[in-house]
C-alpha cells in the first residue's frame, strides 16, 4: 500500500475540489428539491384530482427509475432534442443544459423532490384530526390551518425519514461522476486510480470522506430532532 501518494499536495487538492463539488451539489439539490417537494406534497393532498394524478405520476416515475438513468436522460437525452439544440446557445434557461453541474443538479433535485414529496404528503395525511379541529375552533381559515398547524407538524414528523433521504442523497452524489467534466469525490478517486493504479487507497480515502460527511450530517439531524421533537420524548418521573 502506498498512502503517501494520496497525501501528495496535488492529490489532496483534487480531493478537496471533489469535496466542494459534492457538497455544493448536495446542498443545492436539497434546497431546490425541498421547494419542489413542498409544492408537490400540497398538490398530492389537495382537492384537485388532476394535480394529484399528475404529481402522483411524477413521483411514481422518479421512484421507479434509477437515478443514474435520470442523470443520463437529462445530460445526454435532452441534448438530442432539436428544439433544445436550437436554443441552448442563446435562450435561457436552455443555455444551462451545456453545463454538467446544472444537468446533475436538475436530476438530483427532481429525484429528491419525488421522494420527499411522498414523505411529506404522508405526514400531512396523518395529521391528527384533533389538531385541525382545535385550529378551526380558534377561527382559523383553511390556509391558516395548513400554514400554522398542518405543515409545521408534518415537517417535524417527517424529519427522521428526511434525514435518511439526505444521507442517501449524499451517497448518490457519486453518480455525478458519470457526467463528464464533473469532479466530485468519486471522480477524484477515479483520477488518482487511473494516474497511479492504486484503487484500494484511492477509493478507500473517498469512502472515508463520505463516511465523515455522513457522520456530520447525522449529528446535525440528531441535534435538530432533539430540539424539534422534544415534546414526543417520554417524560421523566
Question: 235 pLDDT band (50/70/90 cuts)?
Answer: low
Question: 94 pLDDT band (50/70/90 cuts)?
Answer: confident
Query: What's the confidence (pLDDT) of residue 35?
Result: 96
Query: What's the confidence (pLDDT) of residue 31?
Result: 97
Q: Which of 42, 211, 226 is nearest to 116 (CA)?
A: 42
Residue 105, pLDDT above cutoff 80: yes
Residue 211, pLDDT above cutoff 90: yes
Query: What's the confidence (pLDDT) of residue 141?
Result: 84
The pLDDT of 175-182, averaged and rounded, is 86
Other Cβ atoms closer than 10 A to 205: 20
Distance between CA atoms of residues 176 and 105, nearest Å = 9
Distance between CA atoms of residues 210 and 214, nearest Å = 6
Residues 6+ apart with CB under 8 A from 24: 101
Other Cβ atoms closer than 10 A to 121: 24
Query: What's the confidence (pLDDT) of residue 234?
Result: 57
pLDDT for 180-190, tens place per residue?
888 999 999 99
**Domains, the chain, ordered by start:** 3-230 (1.10.3720.10)
Q: Which of 206, 181, 172 is nearest to 25 (CA)?
A: 172
SS3 of residue 147 by DSSP: helix
Distance between CA atoms of residues 209 and 131, nearest Å = 43
The answer to whether the CB of 15 falls within 8 A of the CB of 185 is: yes
Q: Which three cell numbers stand for residue 118?
A: 411522498
SS3 of residue 230 by DSSP: helix
pLDDT for 20-68, tens place per residue?
999 999 999 999 999 999 999 999 998 899 999 999 999 999 999 999 9
Amino acid at each position: 500500500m502506498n498512502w503517501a501518494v494520496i497525501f501528495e499536495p496535488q492529490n489532496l487538492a483534487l480531493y478537496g475540489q471533489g469535496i466542494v463539488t459534492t457538497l455544493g451539489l448536495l446542498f443545492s439539490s436539497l434546497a431546490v428539491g425541498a421547494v419542489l417537494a413542498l409544492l408537490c406534497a400540497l398538490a398530492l393532498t389537495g382537492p384537485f384530482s388532476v394535480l394529484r394524478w399528475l404529481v402522483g405520476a411524477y413521483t411514481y416515475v422518479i421512484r421507479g427509475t434509477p437515478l443514474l438513468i435520470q442523470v443520463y436522460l437529462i445530460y445526454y437525452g435532452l441534448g438530442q432534442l432539436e428544439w433544445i439544440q436550437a436554443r441552448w446557445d442563446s435562450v435561457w434557461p436552455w443555455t444551462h443544459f451545456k453545463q454538467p453541474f446544472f444537468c446533475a443538479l436538475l436530476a438530483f433535485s427532481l429525484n429528491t423532490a419525488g421522494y420527499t414529496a411522498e414523505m411529506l404528503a404522508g405526514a400531512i395525511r396523518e395529521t391528527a384530526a384533533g389538531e385541525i379541529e382545535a385550529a378551526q375552533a380558534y377561527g382559523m381559515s383553511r390556509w391558516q390551518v395548513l400554514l400554522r398547524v398542518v405543515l409545521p407538524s408534518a415537517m417535524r414528523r417527517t424529519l427522521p425519514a428526511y434525514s435518511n433521504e439526505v444521507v442517501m442523497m449524499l451517497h448518490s452524489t457519486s453518480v455525478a461522476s458519470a457526467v463528464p467534466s464533473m469532479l466530485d469525490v468519486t471522480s477524484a478517486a477515479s483520477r488518482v486510480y487511473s494516474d497511479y493504479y492504486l484503487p484500494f487507497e484511492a477509493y478507500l480515502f473517498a469512502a472515508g470522506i463520505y463516511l465523515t460527511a455522513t457522520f456530520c450530517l447525522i449529528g446535525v439531524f440528531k441535534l435538530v430532532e432533539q430540539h424539534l421533537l422534544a415534546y414526543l420524548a417520554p417524560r421523566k418521573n
